[in-house]
Structure 1
Amino acid sequence: MIIGIPKEIKTLENRVAMTPAAVESLIRQGNDVLVEAGAGVGSGLADEEYTAAGAKMVSAQDAWGAEMVIKVKEPLESEFKYLREGLLLFTYLHLAAAEGLTKALLESGTTGIAYETIQSPDRTLPLLTPMSEVAGRMATQVGAHYLEKTQGGRGILLGGVPGVMPAEVLVLGGGVVGTNAARMAMGMGARVTILDLSHQRLQYLDDVFQGRITTMMSTEPNIRQMVQKADLVIGGVLLPGAKAPKLITRDMLSLMKEGSVIVDVAVDQGGCIETTKATTHDNPTYVIDGVVHYGVANMPGAVPRTSTFALVNQTTPYAMRLAAKGVAALKDDPGLALGLNTYQGTLTCPAVGEALGIDAVKPEDVI
């Protein structure tokens, strides 16, 4: 198969979809790999490294002209012209919050396989997990930064100092993002509370953190109570493929402290805070009702070297299976089949269909 690796064009997105080592593995399998010149520079990977691995350095148009295109982030509007029937696109898509992209994929007949909806046999999300780990850890770092007075925050040191109370950190969701955010916040000395819907998950977190964080059921009264105390709120709620539920509503902002900070990691899926909107690394925050909002939709792009290697570790085995068999590989792996979001003009992710009001079928109905 001919495989294309375009350069990411999202604002300050420095990740790349494949490392030279991964490219070499694909080539040894018998594939031809076309890498857009400069695609890996942001992650510290030079064109010469890709050439040494056997790749051919090409233009964006040529990379997109491949049979299978592997990316990190969803295509932007300027890339819609490359979408076409017969193209297999393997990347993060987050279609529940991207109606324009969804329609472009459907109208073009592109087969879109989304990293974020592929599942392992244990129902975990293997291609979302590494970036959720990065984003969760970053969320605490980012929140600590924007709590500084010079950044518009309350002027609080997350961990406090002897004789002075540390910050109160509220984490919405006890999944991969929430767990990693809580681990970082606790390590920095903050007082941490995690809210989740699953009592079993809260039991697990209480055990893992040995009672050093507070766990609460995620109910509206509990959220209202805790936002009043919080200096930093981290949103880490995920419903695979679907829009995130709005757990903090606009009216709740009036309960929050002046200069408190919200970091909504769920922004890719529409955000779990009603006032969240997607921002970029070069203009990351805005203020509503005195509360600083951080909504960068590609947080791991700020640490591209770490993020690229963490992501490629997980995506390469799937890419090799797709390269060997194409869409037929989905028949052998029900978890991989769940990654199919669009196929020959049909929406194949019911959660996206529900979010956008578009008719959808299950992947097994078309492959």
Structure 2
Amino acid sequence: MKIGIPKEIKTKEYRVGVIPSGVRLLVESGHEVYIEKDAGEKSRFSNDDYTQAGAIILQNPKEIYDTCEMILKVKEPQPQEYDLLKPGQILFTYLHLAPLRELTEILKEKEVIAIAYETVQEGKRVPLLEPMSQIAGKIAPMVASYFLSAHNNAMGVLIGGASGALPARVLIIGSGTVAKNAAKIASGMGADVVVMGRNPSSMTELEDIMPANVSTLYSNRYNMEKILPTVDIVIGAVYITGEKAPHLITREMLSLCKKGAVLVDVAIDQGGCIETSRPTTHDDPIFEVDGVIHYCVANMPGDYPVTSTHALTNATIPYVKKIADMGWQHASLEDAAIYSGVNVAGGFVTEQAVAKAHQMEYYELKSIIDNCPEFGGTV
């Protein structure tokens, strides 16, 4: 299979879809790998690193999309990439389609085979989301601490406090991978940390492994309204596979927050778990609503590409190889994790959560494969 890796063009997105060791694995398996010139530069991989591993360097994204059967990316296609997509082309990347109706319609119209990292699921695990969730969780307390400073029009509270001065109080909403890593870093910085979730086993685990400055609280509206006036930082860490994030802090609740508090909405890729959130970029990361600072950068790990690229591509490469070796149809039917990753195929939405979010018709992927001649089935 011809596999292409274009350079990421989302604002301040420095990751790349494959590292040289992944190229070598694919080439040794009989595949052709094409990578756009300088695509790995910010992740500290040169063009020579890729050519020595067996890749072919192409000069621009159009050559990549025109040449390749599978496009391997990190972030969802940007508007300037829409016209490059071709029918039947496999797109394997983070998509987060639930809040992105326009992109969902484009993928349908173009009849792309859109496989989303974030919905590849093994049991209860989302193995291609976990490494980036880990990194985003670790970043969140650091950016919150920085933007809590007075020169950012925030409270001017040091997250770890000082002798005779209390530390910041941090509320983390969620109890999954993002939450655990955010709690680990925030507690290590000396904050008073409260993790609010609904999964009893996850919260028990957190209590067992976290230091004494981390406590847990059951998530409901009553408890949220009681705790919001007491915290300096809120980290939204909610994820429901493929679905639009629920608004656990409503517009009305914002009035309960301290003036100058900082909200970091890590769930912004899925629409955000704070009603007043909207996607921001590393160039312009924050905005203020009613005196409360919002940080809603939709690609937080992209600013730490050396770490993030390694962590992501080490997780994705076994799935890439299986899809390339078997073809996406056979790989999907053979591997339930890949099957769960297919969000759009041949003009049909095959992920229930995405169909529900956009009120589009949902089609079972197996029926699409079985009944469409172009996918090897019969009508």
Structures share fold, TM-score greater than 0.5? yes
Instruction: Work out which of the residue numbers 357, 361, 364 in structure 1 matches 2:363.
Output: 361
Counterpart of 2:113, as a letter, is: T
Q: Measure how far apart 1:83 and its partner are.
A: 1.6
Please say if residues 36 and 63 of structure 1, whose CA atoms lie closer than 8 Å, have aligned partners that are also in contact. yes
2:291 corresponding residue in structure 1:
290
- Written as runs of structure 1 = structure 2, the 5 A alignment for 1:50-65 is 50-58=50-58, 59-65=60-66
2:100 corresponding residue in structure 1:
98
Counterpart of 1:112, as a letter, is: A
- Written as runs of structure 1 = structure 2, the 5 A alignment for 1:222-233 is 222-233=223-234
- Written as runs of structure 1 = structure 2, the 5 A alignment for 1:281-360 is 281-327=282-328, 328-360=330-362
Please say if residues 167 and 190 of structure 1, whose CA atoms lie closer than 8 Å, have aligned partners that are also in contact. yes
1:20 corresponding residue in structure 2:
20
Query: Which digits, 9 at most, give the CA deviation of each residue in 1:146-166, with x for residues without a partner?
Result: 011112211011010121100
Q: Secondary structure of the residue that 1:329 maps to in structure 2?
A: helix
Q: If the length of structure 1 is used for normalisation, what is the TM-score?
A: 0.98
Q: Secondary structure of the residue that 1:338 maps to in structure 2?
A: helix
Please say if residues 349 and 363 of structure 2, whose CA atoms lie closer than 8 Å, have aligned partners that are also in contact. yes
1:7 corresponding residue in structure 2:
7
2:161 corresponding residue in structure 1:
160
In the alignment, the residues of structure 1 paired with residue 88 and residue 14 of structure 2 have an alpha-carbon distance, to the nearest angstrom, of: 28
State the identity %: 44
Change in CA separation of 1:132 and 1:5 when aligned onto 2, cut-off 3 Å? same
Q: If the length of structure 2 is used for normalisation, what is the TM-score?
A: 0.95
Q: Measure how far apart 1:210 and its partner are.
A: 5.3
The alignment covers a number of residue pairs equal to 366
Q: Measure how far apart 1:227 and its partner are.
A: 1.0
Q: Secondary structure of the residue that 2:16 maps to in structure 1?
A: coil
Q: Measure how far apart 1:336 and its partner are.
A: 1.4
1:250 equivalent in alignment to 2:251: yes
Please say if residues 112 and 341 of structure 1, whose CA atoms lie closer than 8 Å, have aligned partners that are also in contact. yes
Counterpart of 2:82, as a letter, is: F
In the alignment, the residues of structure 2 paired with residue 211 and residue 356 of structure 1 have an alpha-carbon distance, to the nearest angstrom, of: 43
In the alignment, the residues of structure 1 paired with residue 97 and residue 18 of structure 2 have an alpha-carbon distance, to the nearest angstrom, of: 22
Stretches of 4+ moved more than 6 A in 1? none
Of the structure 1 ranges 10-19 and 40-49, higher mean CA displacement relative to structure 2 is found in 40-49
Q: What root-mean-square deviation, in Å, do the aligned CA atoms of Structure 1 and Structure 2 show?
A: 0.9
In the alignment, the residues of structure 1 paired with residue 74 and residue 316 of structure 2 have an alpha-carbon distance, to the nearest angstrom, of: 10
In the alignment, the residues of structure 1 paired with residue 77 and residue 227 of structure 2 have an alpha-carbon distance, to the nearest angstrom, of: 38
In the alignment, the residues of structure 2 paired with residue 12 and residue 77 of structure 1 have an alpha-carbon distance, to the nearest angstrom, of: 16
1:270 corresponding residue in structure 2:
271
Please say if residues 148 and 157 of structure 1, whose CA atoms lie closer than 8 Å, have aligned partners that are also in contact. yes
In the alignment, the residues of structure 2 paired with residue 346 and residue 299 of structure 1 have an alpha-carbon distance, to the nearest angstrom, of: 31
In the alignment, the residues of structure 2 paired with residue 184 and residue 107 of structure 1 have an alpha-carbon distance, to the nearest angstrom, of: 43
1:196 corresponding residue in structure 2:
197
Please say if residues 34 and 62 of structure 1, whose CA atoms lie closer than 8 Å, have aligned partners that are also in contact. no
Counterpart of 2:124, as a letter, is: R
Please say if residues 235 and 265 of structure 1, whose CA atoms lie closer than 8 Å, have aligned partners that are also in contact. yes
In the alignment, the residues of structure 2 paired with residue 181 and residue 317 of structure 1 have an alpha-carbon distance, to the nearest angstrom, of: 28
- Written as runs of structure 1 = structure 2, the 5 A alignment for 1:171-250 is 171-209=172-210, 211-250=212-251
Instruction: Work out which of the residue numbers 82, 85, 91 in structure 2 matches 1:83.
Output: 85
- Residue segments in structure 1 that go unaligned for 5+ positions in a row: none
In the alignment, the residues of structure 2 paired with residue 294 and residue 362 of structure 1 have an alpha-carbon distance, to the nearest angstrom, of: 37
Q: Measure how far apart 1:212 and its partner are.
A: 3.7
Instruction: Work out which of the residue numbers 100, 106, 109 in structure 2 matches 1:107.
Output: 109
Counterpart of 1:351, as a letter, is: A
In the alignment, the residues of structure 2 paired with residue 169 and residue 361 of structure 1 have an alpha-carbon distance, to the nearest angstrom, of: 42
Q: Secondary structure of the residue that 1:351 maps to in structure 2?
A: helix
Q: Measure how far apart 1:335 and its partner are.
A: 1.6
Please say if residues 160 and 189 of structure 1, whose CA atoms lie closer than 8 Å, have aligned partners that are also in contact. yes
In the alignment, the residues of structure 2 paired with residue 274 and residue 362 of structure 1 have an alpha-carbon distance, to the nearest angstrom, of: 32
Query: Which digits, 9 at most, give the CA deviation of each residue in 1:224-264, with x for residues without a partner?
Result: 11111110000000010000000001111111111100000
In the alignment, the residues of structure 1 paired with residue 213 and residue 259 of structure 2 have an alpha-carbon distance, to the nearest angstrom, of: 27
Query: Which digits, 9 at most, give the CA deviation of each residue in 1:302-341, with x for residues without a partner?
Result: 1011000000110000000011011111111112100000
Query: Which digits, 9 at most, give the CA deviation of each residue in 1:131-185, with x for residues without a partner?
Result: 0000000001000000111122110110101211000000000100011001100
Q: Measure how far apart 1:211 and its partner are.
A: 4.8
1:143 corresponding residue in structure 2:
144
Q: Measure how far apart 1:279 and its partner are.
A: 0.3
Please say if residues 15 and 43 of structure 1, whose CA atoms lie closer than 8 Å, have aligned partners that are also in contact. yes
Q: Secondary structure of the residue that 2:121 maps to in structure 1?
A: coil
Please say if residues 140 and 185 of structure 1, whose CA atoms lie closer than 8 Å, have aligned partners that are also in contact. yes
Q: Measure how far apart 1:366 and its partner are.
A: 2.5
Q: Measure how far apart 1:267 and its partner are.
A: 0.2
Counterpart of 2:284, as a letter, is: N
2:120 corresponding residue in structure 1:
118
